Structure 1
């Protein structure tokens, strides 16, 4: 006979949704177990910037932002429309501040408002320049002790010196250390601290962005008394007055209140990926490897259904790839550091631009798919590469030599030669560069209106004018990196009600089953209106699900 263990709430998956749900359940007094199939805690959240879109928190006032629920809902209504139920958005707007304040008041999870982080669709009425986007406060992972080894390391290409995590503040100081004594001192302290951590912990203990959020949540889960099990696979779920979880180990968990699915979505499911993503199916994803959709198969057998009506089944970003020396693939998402900068353009096989390069990564990748620009090529000149970098090439050209050698980066003395090496139309590329040079002088992109919204201008170069996103291309040698769309998270998930309970085809809640994060049908309907619109709802519906499941256990 298998061993039976009793809990009030079980959470499957350990990204922002899973960890926060487990914490909220434990804070509500529920005996809680967190189950993670992989070796690491953190999911794709650990890879991300950790930005959390949570409107109307008390943190907005710290950056001088004014907001209110009606303004937020109006913005979402205009951005998302009927692609998701308004009731779900209302539940999010009502509960997001409660979730964030509970974490900040009762746990180690601390946030701060970004001084300036505009909504992506900043041209839509109701958008804001700041106040809604929160970021995790950097965290000294030494407080985790042995658990530091459980935090999923960041994407290596997003670090320097073999593992040092850096955020925007760090990058600014590192680039300015030859010009400022303050930046030099900052950089020396940053690097020396990293070297000490490597000796002591085998990795960086200074956690920023997504790693900071996961580190803080992990410590908070431990302090709240959550039982954490990694390398643990759920093989079956049985529902009823109580819910039974069968584990691959042969154990059975008897759950009194409910099971919250937070496994990251369908993205790496062996068949559903091809069925639900556009053709040709994206070959590479920059998301963490755990979201195989295995639990979806079980939930669907129990009567759960996928939501419908989303603009797209996944959220997207353009990615560049290279095979590492160990045979694994580096998948680099091009979020903001290059596409929006002056002197960098994106073209297709005809050498022509096909979209506004400064739009959000989601919209850029969608434009690739809609126009059939597969692949696209991100092109710049010597000045652009030195000033802003290009993909995995750091500003100043750091890393360019190795990336040229393995073919990730293409270099040529002229645009004609670059076009020939890329196999694209040379006349089209030269004409595009000439047009961009004229636009750079006038500050007006007559083709795609680049740099006309607050969001686009924010991601340009504030020291460059007249348009911070438009610059000339003309100083050889010239460079290019190949881009393909990469799915960064599921937008279509399991259908739930406002309390995060899974629904069957008739809209009836399935007893004891909940979903949060990318397992849940996105309240954004496949639209990407602002930074952190996956993590914000993930934490919020983790809060909602945990509250309901904990109350069910008490009842």
Structure 2
């Protein structure tokens, strides 16, 4: 069907926000014949997606079947039932499981959005229905120079997780070459080629253009929008809804082009949740209510605009999940920002302790599980500790492995160092007796590859981001070769779980369950189907794009995929 042309500031569908959920909705609606406008209050598009790992959790996807042909929808459903507990919503979960693989195939067939398989296990693979591989896919790397002049409007990746501006895949297969550059001619050659190519990109485009992970997903989705002549209006904040009787008819906008945009079919809220809404999160996050601190690396523009607009229109929002956000242990890097600890915790020779010197969790569980353990510990933070061998081999936080020097991070206080554990404890204000006892106890088992306290390394997920060359347990090694180092971990997040209540199709509902005509929500503006849990890599982006696809089709008059209706063009 031929898309309708925009009539000034009139469209069929207005999408507020430019992350994966919003852009997926926009592309789907446009492909099914509707006119669409996307507005974004920040000067760049891509939302939190551009900062993310770019992984989607889609059980039953065709990429994953090659690695796990025996996986079934029933197993995925059992897993989600176990993981979501009292928040299991059968109708919505079934819609996700039915539509997810179709959504993935549709985007790959109809647009430049492409994916590659990963070897990610589910985060809790020993739970009923969990699997060791096959449910997570990754956005394929992308040459973002195809965006042309719009490249300048693509949100750059999070600076603290790049190296000299270069990006690595979320699976981090190629980062091993950087770890081994001084030990292997193959790795050295690989690294030099990457550096030369990156330098050329910076000269030609002012930034690296070979993007991976979430930056690749954001760039691919944006390219698909631009290919379809969907305008993405940056510097255009949504101020308030417009109504005609009880129906939402559009939005008044400010910024670069203030005025009113009329939406004939619906307004879709896709503003990324409330991770930077300081007042709202202060009343919801347990560690903030207890007087602690919180440092979120998500974009500063995620101030809960969509949820505010939805509530003003009568939509229901409840802070009901025990874990209201996807927790992420972060460290504050002087002069740079926040570093999310996505990799180092899994490596052998590292442990995390509280101020009493005691471990409190399995460091090789997911960032959300470790963050939840930090919240439960009630201290608002912890210390990630390693010995000299580990930091030189793997790095620690933003401090890179050899041959990159550690001195700058020691000078600015980011890294703490001690010739002995007692010295390190003093530098970090950790109880020295507790730390000595903890390390001694840990090392006794670690020398045989055992973690008797928290069973680290006993699941495929624990081992996935560890060191496969370290035997017998890729996640566990003693902490014993001084000097010793530590970095302060604090509680951050990758986005919020609580959101507006909606129907399966994404229509926002009020407190009596009645649909607010003309108003929809996707992504983190919509309550998570995971109930505050984090079952696997990509459980935010997977549902965001799937329900964006469902919502876009629904706005175009197509029945939800969960009804059994087949693949439509």
TM-score per shorter chain, which class?
over 0.9
- Please point out which of 116, 119, 127 is paired with 2:130: 127
Distance 1:499 1:484 in 2: 37
Whether 2:242 is the aligned partner of 1:235: answer no
Distance 2:295 2:502 in 1: 29
- Summarize the Cα distance change of 1:36–1:469 in structure 2 as closer, same or farther, 3 Å threshold: same
Q: Greater CA deviation, 507-516 or 53-62? A: 53-62
Whether 2:545 is the aligned partner of 1:543: answer no
The question of whether the paired residues in 1 share the 8 Å contact of 2:241 and 2:248 is answered with no
Distance 2:38 2:140 in 1: 24
Instruction: Report deviation, 1:547.
Output: 1.2
Paired position in structure 2 for 1:258: 266
SS at 2:487's partner residue? strand
After TM superposition, the structure 1 = structure 2 runs for residues 403-414 of structure 1, keeping only pairs within 5 Å, are: 403-414=409-420
Distance 1:16 1:47 in 2: 11
Q: Greater CA deviation, 62-71 or 105-114? A: 62-71
Instruction: Report deviation, 1:51.
Output: 0.7
**Where does structure 1 differ by over 6 angstroms across 4 or more consecutive aligned residues?**
none
Instruction: Report deviation, 1:68.
Output: 2.1
Instruction: Report deviation, 1:84.
Output: 4.1
The question of whether the paired residues in 2 share the 8 Å contact of 1:348 and 1:374 is answered with no
Paired position in structure 1 for 2:423: 417
Distance 2:248 2:294 in 1: 41
The question of whether the paired residues in 1 share the 8 Å contact of 2:250 and 2:267 is answered with no
Distance 2:308 2:554 in 1: 24
Instruction: Report deviation, 1:251.
Output: 1.4
Instruction: Report deviation, 1:64.
Output: 4.2
Instruction: Report deviation, 1:491.
Output: 0.6
TM-score (norm: length of structure 1):
0.95
1:327-375: CA deviation from partner (whole Å, max 9, x where unpaired): xx5111112x211211100011111111111111111111111122332
1:5-57: CA deviation from partner (whole Å, max 9, x where unpaired): 21001111111111111111111111000110001111111111101111112
Paired position in structure 2 for 1:32: 36
Whether 2:302 is the aligned partner of 1:291: answer yes
Paired position in structure 1 for 2:338: 331
Q: Greater CA deviation, 536-545 or 443-452? A: 443-452
Q: Which runs of 5+ in 1 are unaligned?
A: none
1:417-475: CA deviation from partner (whole Å, max 9, x where unpaired): 11111111111111111111111123332211212212112222212222221111111
The question of whether the paired residues in 2 share the 8 Å contact of 1:320 and 1:332 is answered with yes
How many residue pairs match? The answer is 543
After TM superposition, the structure 1 = structure 2 runs for residues 369-384 of structure 1, keeping only pairs within 5 Å, are: 369-384=375-390
SS at 1:164's partner residue? coil
TM-score (norm: length of structure 2):
0.92
After TM superposition, the structure 1 = structure 2 runs for residues 318-467 of structure 1, keeping only pairs within 5 Å, are: 318-324=329-335, 330-335=337-342, 337-396=343-402, 398-467=404-473
- Summarize the Cα distance change of 1:416–1:179 in structure 2 as closer, same or farther, 3 Å threshold: closer
Whether 2:276 is the aligned partner of 1:276: answer no
Distance 1:551 1:388 in 2: 52
Whether 2:223 is the aligned partner of 1:215: answer no
- Summarize the Cα distance change of 1:525–1:286 in structure 2 as closer, same or farther, 3 Å threshold: same
Instruction: Report deviation, 1:295.
Output: 3.0
The question of whether the paired residues in 2 share the 8 Å contact of 1:65 and 1:130 is answered with no
